[in-house]
A and B are shown apart, each in its own frame.
Chain A
Amino acid sequence: MVDQNIQKSADMLWDAWNTNKPTTPIRELLGETDVEAAYAVQEINTKRWLEQGRRLSGRKIGLTSKAVQTQLGVDQPDYGMLFSDMDIPDGEEISFATCHQPKVEAEIAFVMGKDMDDPDVTTTEVMASIEYALPAIEVVGSRVADWNIRITDTIADNASSGLYVLGQTPVKIGDFDPRLCGMVLFNRGEPVSVGAGAACLGSPINSTLWLARVMAKAGRPLKAGDVVLSGALGPMAAVTPGEVYEARIQGLGSVRAAFSAE
């Protein structure tokens, strides 16, 4: 029964992804608390995409803010897969129509320099494994209608991932302050989201440590070259078609997500 519902949930999200027609919440099949089943749903679709030839380019970490965790009634973050086709060059126009109810978040991206196969990895090992950091904008999306999500819905839906844009100014881990770096997301000169590194689980290094451990356990360990979107540094912002969103992270540089009018 549970297995059937896992497969059915995966099919609903798969269809929603491919047809760009959002689905009803899959928690109606999986319940609101079975995180393991939700990751099983995610894994079914990850395998389908890999079979289709999509290439893994990294991972994203979600639910890294206290406020969002409280909202969804959870006490830990979640993860999703990043594929190479989600990588949008800085400032290149993103087709709004092909996004799934897009919103934007400013984050720090870490590019890994080493494989991380050990589930008992430590903070210092994570820091030593990060090749460099980049400013990033994650364009999140939801295959669930009206973003009506609880924890199981978002995990099953690849952690509500969509696209990502990376800045082009690599900074070494010792050359900026991951906890205290200021973040502002501008739209037409107005700050639409403001925050700092600490908003991401206390520090983006903390979320990356969590991810490295969990991925090693889950059998999809981080590999050298993987991009880690470590989690939002401030509230997510709604996207208006035709608009440009610029994230500035003090010490890391800036990056832009530009959306088409239609």
Chain B
Amino acid sequence: MSDLTKIAEIADEAARTGTAIAQFSDKEVLTLDEAYAVQALSMQRRYARGEKRIGIKMGFTSRAKMVQMGLDEMIWGRLTDAMREEDGGVISFKKYVHPRVEPEIAFLMRKPLSGNVTVFEAMDAVAAVAPAMEVIDSRYDNFKFDLGDVVADNSSSSGFVIGNWCAPDSDISNLGLVMSINGKASQIGSTAAILGNPARSLVAAARMVASAGECLNEGDIVLAGGATAASAMAVGDSVVTDFQDLGTVSFTVGE
């Protein structure tokens, strides 16, 4: 256990200071259970510094990505208030190691949700849906990691921006989207890439937090997973994603 505590400290320091570290799997591969334990321990350090958990993010929600990583299960990580960036605001590049951005769908919970639930039960617990972008940032050198590494690193979550909240009964199953960097289309896709329908990601989120003894709470945000591949960005970039029916979400990259 002390080992996991030590690993959690290294992972947390890398995230806190925006510094790249070597993969843990170079020395010793973490099992999935160990990796989630490391993630929980590193989050405890964040909470001790005053950060609040305000939701979770899902990862590896595209079949293509799962196949590419040789996985058959999604991963998840925790979101804190310190990771939240303003829609239309400026994000600080130096907070991150090598940030990338991807378009997402966000859910806002209106009541608790946990365990094995149906799509209907999951969507019934949603207060609103929104267009969103996640800034993912692996703390490992060259964005290289194995499954245990990435889960220990809070599943690469590091920042997110949420646009206007829309009605919870909006049809989000197949919304087209264009993520532009400096006006040029960088990623084009559809929310259908998220498990065929992002609602399925919320079902998975309820199941996965339950396995950690946690719950999606009223007011929590759930990021459903990337709808396209992630794009690299640089200081000075303007990043804008237009979603069919849901509107636009944007930020610029500052020093």
Contact = CB atoms under 8 A, between A and B. Distances in A.
Given A180-B242, A180-B243, A196 B188 contact: yes
A180 B189 contact: no
Contacts of B196: 184, 186, 189-191
A182 B185 contact: no
Interface stretch (A23-31, A84-92, A97-105, A197-205): A197-205
Given A182-B191, A189-B196, A191-B192, A196 B177 contact: yes
A251 B196 CA distance: 17
B174 A177 contact: no
A184 B174 contact: yes
Interface in B215-255: 242-245
Given A182-B177, A248-B174, A250-B174, A194 B189 contact: yes
21 contacts: A179-B176, A180-B175, A180-B176, A180-B178, A180-B245, A182-B191, A184-B196, A189-B196, A190-B196, A191-B63, A195-B189, A196-B188, A198-B176, A198-B178, A198-B185, A199-B188, A234-B189, A234-B190, A249-B174, A250-B173, A250-B174
A186 B192 CA distance: 10
A181 interface: yes
Contacts of B242: 180
A255 interface: no
B205 interface: no
Contacts of B177: 180, 182, 196
Contacts of A202: 185
Interface residues on B, range: 20 to 34
- Residue among A180, A182, A251 facing the most chain B CB atoms (10 A cut-off): A182
Contacts of B243: 180
Closest 9 CB pairs of A and B: A196-B176, A182-B190, A184-B192, A182-B176, A180-B244, A182-B174, A194-B193, A180-B176, A250-B174
Which size bracket describes the interface of A in this complex? 20 to 34
A184 B244 contact: no
Interface string B186-202: 00111111001000000
B188 A198 contact: yes
Interface of B: 63, 171, 173-178, 185, 188-193, 196, 242-245
A194 B185 contact: no
Contacts of B188: 195-196, 198-199
Interface of A: 66, 177, 179-184, 186, 189-191, 194-199, 202, 234, 248-251
B190 A196 contact: yes
B178 A182 contact: no
B190 A194 contact: yes
A58 B174 CA distance: 28
B189 A181 contact: no
Nearest to A183: B190
A248 B176 CA distance: 11
Nearest to B227: A194
Contacts of B185: 66, 198, 202
Contacts of A249: 174
Given A250-B175, A250-B176, A194 B244 contact: no
A248 B244 contact: no
Contacts of B173: 250
Given A180-B178, A195-B188, A198-B185, 10 more contacts: A177-B244, A180-B176, A180-B243, A180-B244, A180-B245, A183-B174, A184-B190, A194-B190, A248-B174, A250-B174
A219 B80 CA distance: 62
Given A182-B175, A198-B178, A250 B190 contact: yes
**Which of A177, A189, A190, A195 has the most C-beta atoms of chain B within 10 angstroms of its own C-beta?**
A195
